[in-house]
Amino acid sequence: MRYADGGGLTAAGRAKREAVRFEAAEMFEQGVQRPEVARRLRVSQKSAYAWHALWRDGGKPALASKGHGGFPCRLNDARAERLQAELDAGPAAHGWSEGQRWTLARVAELIHRLFGHRYTPRGVSYLLHRLGWSPQVPAYRAVERDEQAVESWRTEQWSRVGGRPSSWARGQSSRTSPGRT
Confidence (pLDDT) at 142: 75
Could you read off the pLDDT of 47-86 as tens digits, one per residue? Answer: 999 999 999 999 999 999 887 766 777 888 899 999 999 9
Count of residues making up the chain: 181
Collect all residues with Cβ–Cβ distance below 8 Å to 2 and sequence separation of at least 6. none
Higher pLDDT, 168 or 1: 168
Of the candidates 74, 154, 143, 141, the residue with the CA atom closest to the CA atom of residue 114: 74
Top mean pLDDT of 86-90, 141-145, 155-159, 161-165 is at 86-90
Q: Is the pLDDT of residue 7 over 70?
A: no
pTM exceeding the 0.85 threshold for the entire prediction:
no
At 120, give phi and psi (nearest 5°).
Answer: -80, 160
Confidence (pLDDT) at 11: 77
Could you read off the pLDDT of 167-181 as tens digits, one per residue? Answer: 555 665 656 666 555
CA angle, 172 as apex, 168 and 178 as ends, to 5°?
A: 125
Alpha helices in 11-158 (DSSP H): 11-29, 34-41, 45-58, 77-89, 104-115, 121-130, 147-153
Could you read off the pLDDT of 20-53 as tens digits, one per residue? Answer: 999 999 999 999 999 999 999 999 999 999 999 9
Confidence of residue 16 (pLDDT cuts 50, 70, 90): very high
Confidence (pLDDT) at 43: 95
Max Cα–Cα distance, the chain, nearest Å: 85
Q: If you average pLDDT over every residue of the chain, what do you get?
A: 83
Torsion of CA 137, 141, 147, 151, to 10 degrees: -70
